[in-house]
Every structure is written in structure tokens, then in C-alpha cells.
Amino acid sequence: MPSPTVTRVRAAYARIEAVDRPEVWIDLRPQAEVEQEAEALDARAAAGEHLPLAGKLLAVKGNIDVEGLPTTAGCPSYAYKPPADAPAVARLRAAGAIVLGTTNLDQFATGLVGTRSPYGAVRNAHDPARVSGGSSAGSAVAVALGIVDVALGTDTAGSGRVPAAFNGIVGLKPTRGLVPTDGVVPACASLDCVTVFARTLPEAEQALSYMASPSARELPPLPQRTPGPWRIAVPDRAQLGELDPGWAEAYEAAAAQLASAGAELRNVDLTPFTAAAAMLYEGAFVAERYTAVGSFIDKSIDAGADDLDPTVAGIITRARDIPAHRLYADQERLAALRTKALASLGDADALLLPTTPGHPTIADVAADPLGANARLGRFTNSTNLFDLAAVAVPAGEVDGLPFGVMLIGPAFTDEPLAQIARLLTPPAHLAVVGAHLSGQPLNPQLLAFGAQLERKTKTAPVYRLHALRTTPPKPGLVHVGEGGAAIETEVWQLPAEGLGRLLAALPRPMALGRVELADGTSVPGFLCEPGALDGASDITAYGGWRGYLESGPDAG
């Protein structure tokens, strides 16, 4: 019988084959190799090693080093074999995550569209005629298609947020420097951030917590927050500029949702933000991209290389001749714009914006590569220039496609931004099979987080249930695939913030994972670390925890 993580790996590779999106990946690890790592990981967990991300599958953007795979940055002739994982990757692996492979991107992380790659244009997860968003295109789509649980991207101009919005997932862009950028091929080294994608905010926050280095930058003294409701800055509709049909209404609905949750909305002047956004590519800051890979591109062009994306090569080579005095002038202008922007925000906790002004098709981008890309960065480009943190979350749909918003705040306000973002996240679902069931000892914990029972059902017949030696008594649910059975389950609905708090307080040996239900759907739920099963009794035959308590000779 395969171990739980091996079963998860096999499901992921089956999903890769089923969705038939080869452009998502640059290098995919052989399935047998990943299964071998998964089996070893489960053995370590069974021996008692603390692996909080055990069973989580990870995809890594192709400009971030993964030991054993080439780092290409989306350019085959640039590829090199890294001697070690980038720290962000290494930390997730140390916590138990397993890398499936490296993902496609706008070459040299230059773009917000996901089409600038010799490995192919990455199609949107919901509408293959539309762009997936870049440059972290493959990572976002791998998450959105349910292949991996979390994925790493990078964000210089919005690449950790635009793909999240277009694919209906969460994108966390932390404070610059909070996650090390060692082992990352730079786009603009002074602005780059390593980011994380996930389907839910708690999953993204959990991954980020293992990647972050709190001491990476000296924490500045943050102003004391005046007590009161969350203060959210929103611009007038006219300052948003031209948006796709229905997007202004969707944005205003998100703002209204925050207001209905008790937030105080206040007006902000968006002008300094959009003025700075235009400077990222139109000003001298783009010269830093030439510093990163310009000499390689020049040599490749001279050698007649055929794997350079012409749009990317043009952007970077044109930056070669920008005079130094322009950079100093732009730095002075940027400092003035940042002062105006922060003054306009005042004591607001966050700025709420649509993540992008619209969602182009692949044909739209092909017809106007520079114009379409520039439009997508209208709201995202200024974030790193101003040294701000951001989180992008889904906020409904427009014409059947995902619509997303982002919350932006000062450096080191990552946690408050996530708390506010939870107010925008639709209620989460949680599958419980044991001590959190109705009437059981831990059920009040769910109720305290605002949970409501949605339905009673059963799992898919792929689990075994074990009675653990814990206080209070509780069972451990383990995915086994073949040889499993359907287990009595309750699905509870609770606010996303409640799920996050529940996850933060979750004691070992319990872990949050995806639980497959009898109707073919899956929702987050409590699973058990394999190491906790030593001495535990297999109680699967009772059909569930209640059946065991009522009939089990050793129950209680």
C-alpha cells in the first residue's frame, strides 16, 4: 500500500496528464524520483520528525534555484545547474514540501503576461484564450489547476499578484527582503521579492512563515496604530482609469464588502502611485535589468541565438544606453512621489485596488506586446518602488472569469494586510471527522471561530481512521488510496479568518490538507501525521469516530 504522500504525488502526476498543459513546466522531475522522495519523507514523519508541510507539493518559478534542476530564467541557453536550493526553496523542503519541478515564466522575469517564453505561452487556467499573467505564469497556473498546493514566484512589477488575480488564487508579495532572494536570477535586484501562490490565504501564509527571515532587514519603528476599525484607502472611480467592462463594479463591491465588515473607507489620491508605476519601465530604473542579464543578451544576439524572446531582448538592450544622470533624476522624482503617496495614505491601514485594469487575450498581447503589458502594471508597478507590502486575493467573477483585488500597505505590515484580506475571502469549508464533530469536545472551538455546520457526508473511500493516544481522545485520518473506506464527515463553513486562526493553533500530530469527499469534491480538512500512528488502533471498520465511540470496546 503506498504511503499517503506517495498517493498525493501520483494524483498530481495524473492531474498533469489530465489537464494537458505542457507549457506550465520547464523541467518536471521524473515521477519515480518524486515518489521515492515522498516515501522517504513519510518514513521520516513516521519516525517522529516534525515536518509541518509534509505532503504539500511545490512548484518553483524557473528563475529560482532548485538543486538537481537547471535554472533557465526562461532561456534555454542561459541555463546553469545550481549547487544548492535557493534559501526560500530549502526552507520549504526542510518543512516537508516536495518540489515537482520548475515552471515557465516571462523570460528573465520581464513581463506581466506569461507569453514571453520560448517554452510557449502559458494559457490561463480558466480560459485558454486569455493570458495567465506573468512573469510567474506557470507557478500560478500549477496551483490554480490543482496540481500543486503552493508555488513560488517572484515580484518586481507585479508578477506575484497579476497571475494570482487572473487565475483566481492568492498571491502574497511580502515586504522586500523578508524572504531572501539568494539563488534567484534577478530582474531588478534592488526591487525583487520571492512570492508565494496558494488556493487559500491560510495555505499561503503558512508557506510564507517558513520562507521568511524576520532579521533579513532591520525592523524600523512602526507608528503606533490609532485604535479603531480597519482604515481602507480607496480612490475615486475616475482615478482608476479605463477598466474592462464590469470591473469597476466588481471593485466597488469588494470595497463595500470591507465596509460591511466594519472597515472605514476613506478617499486617497492615486496620482503618485500611477505616476511612479509608469517610471518602472519608462524611466531609468529599467537599467537594472540590463545589469542583471544584459551582457548575456548582447553576446547571445551577436552569436545569432534563437531562444531570446524579442520583446524581452528589446526592453533589456534598450536600457543599456540610459545615462547615469537620468537615474539620479528619477530617484529624486521617485522619492518625492513616495512622500506624496504616503501622505495621501495617512494613517490608512491599506490601499485597496483592482489588481489589474483588465484581462487581455493572448491575441491582444500579440497585437500590442508593450502596450498590453504596460496597462497590466498600472496598479502593481509602484509597490516595490515605494517599498510596500501587498496581498492579492480573489474577489468574485466578472463574465465567468476571476476578478481579483489587492491590499497594499507599508513595509512590515504583512500580517495586518492578511487580516484585512480575510474579510474579502469567501467563507472557508472544513471537513472534520473526530473531536470537532457536533457534540464532541473540540466542537466549541469551531463555534468560537464562527463556524456553522453545512452538511453531513462521507469521505471518498480512500482513507483509514485510527484512534490516537491523545487527550482528549481523537482520531487520525490518513489517505491510503486502495484499501481505504468512506468515513463519516461533517463539512463546516467558517470565516477565512477563523480558518487561519484554527490552523495557527493546530497541535501536532494534526495537519491541514485536502480531504476528498464522496461527491468527488475536496475541501480543507484535518489529516494526521503518519508518525502519530504508532500504537494507534485502526478503527476504520466502525465507519467513523461516532461509530467507534458508540460501539468500540476500547472507546473512551
Owner of C-alpha cell 494559457: 123
Per-residue pLDDT, averaged over 303-332, amounts to 95
Query: Which residue from 503, 426, 422, 435 is spatially nearest to 468, judged by alpha carbons?
Result: 435
Residue % of the chain over a pLDDT of 90 = 78
Residue 269 CA, chain-centre distance (Å), reads 29
| Residues 208/171, Cβ–Cβ less than 8 Å | no
Residue 24 has pLDDT above 70, yes or no: yes
Residue 221 lies in a domain: no
Question: Is 215 among the residues known to form the active site?
Answer: no
- Residues 351, 204 share a domain: yes
Residue 77 lies in a domain: yes
Query: Which residue from 425, 516, 483 is spatially nearest to 146, judged by alpha carbons?
Result: 516
The string of pLDDT tens digits covering residues 283-302 is 899 999 999 999 999 999 99
- Residues 491, 350 share a domain: no
Residue 34 CA, chain-centre distance (Å), reads 22
- Residues 151, 298 share a domain: yes
Catalytic residue among 3, 132, 136, 159: 159
pLDDT of residue 123: 98
Identify the sign of the CA torsion 521, 523, 526, 531: positive
- Residues 387, 340 share a domain: yes
57-61 and 98-103 beta bridge pairing: parallel
Copy the grid coordinates of residue 270: 492615486
Residue 410 lies in a domain: yes
Query: Which residue from 78, 147, 83, 84 is spatially nearest to 110, judged by alpha carbons?
Result: 78
- Residues 433, 392 share a domain: no
pLDDT of residue 219: 65
- Residues 344, 464 share a domain: no
The amino acid that residue 283 corresponds to is: G
Residue 335 has pLDDT above 70, yes or no: yes
Among 388, 404, 422, give the residue marking a domain's end: 422
Residue 171 lies in a domain: yes
How many angstroms separate the CA atoms of 87 and 100, rounded? 17
Q: What is the CATH number for 340?
A: 3.90.1300.10
Neighbours of 242 (CB within 10 A): 10
Question: Is 159 among the residues known to form the active site?
Answer: yes
List the domain range (segments joined by +) for residue 166: 4-214+229-422
- Residues 192, 175 share a domain: yes
The string of pLDDT tens digits covering residues 76-128 is 999 999 999 999 999 999 999 999 999 999 999 999 999 999 999 999 999 99
| Residues 542/494, Cβ–Cβ less than 8 Å | no
HSE of 509, CA atoms in CB hemisphere, 13 A? 25
Torsion of CA 435, 436, 438, 444, to 10 degrees: 110
Q: What is the CATH number for 484?
A: 3.10.490.10
The mean pLDDT of the chain is: 92
- Residues 402, 476 share a domain: no
How many angstroms separate the CA atoms of 424 and 200, rounded? 12
Q: Say what the pTM is.
A: 0.84
Residue 219 lies in a domain: no
How many angstroms separate the CA atoms of 348 and 345, rounded? 5
Could you say which DSSP state residue 80 is in?
A: B
Catalytic residue among 3, 117, 132, 135: 135
How many angstroms separate the CA atoms of 544 and 540, rounded? 7
Copy the grid coordinates of residue 416: 495586518
The amino acid that residue 208 corresponds to is: L
- Residues 368, 298 share a domain: yes
HSE of 63, CA atoms in CB hemisphere, 13 A? 32
Angle at 20 between CA 33 and CA 357, to 5 degrees: 115
Question: Is 56 among the residues known to form the active site?
Answer: no
Catalytic residue among 3, 56, 61, 117: 61
Per-residue pLDDT, averaged over 2-7, amounts to 83
Residue 220 lies in a domain: no
Per-residue pLDDT, averaged over 57-74, amounts to 98
Residue 222 lies in a domain: no
Residue 158 CA, chain-centre distance (Å), reads 13
- Residues 445, 406 share a domain: no
Among 422, 439, 454, give the residue marking a domain's end: 422
How many angstroms separate the CA atoms of 93 and 90, rounded? 5
Residue 270 lies in a domain: yes
pLDDT of residue 213: 86
Cα radius of gyration rounded to whole Å, the chain = 24
The amino acid that residue 40 corresponds to is: A
- Residues 72, 102 share a domain: yes
The three-state secondary structure class of 461 is: coil
State the pLDDT confidence band at 556, using cuts at 50, 70 and 90: very low
Could you say which DSSP state residue 225 is in?
A: P
The string of pLDDT tens digits covering residues 447-503 is 888 899 999 999 999 999 999 887 778 899 988 888 899 999 999 998 776 776 777
- Residues 467, 359 share a domain: no
How many angstroms separate the CA atoms of 170 and 261, rounded? 20
For the chain, first and last CA: distance in Å? 30
* Domain count of the fold of the chain: 2
| Residues 223/326, Cβ–Cβ less than 8 Å | no
| Cα separations in angstroms, 100 against 24, 58, 211 | 12, 6, 18
The string of pLDDT tens digits covering residues 213-251 is 866 666 666 667 888 899 999 999 999 999 999 999 999
Among 391, 422, 453, give the residue marking a domain's end: 422
Query: Which residue from 318, 502, 532 is spatially nearest to 422, judged by alpha carbons?
Result: 502
Torsion of CA 110, 189, 295, 283, to 10 degrees: 60
| Residues 31/13, Cβ–Cβ less than 8 Å | yes
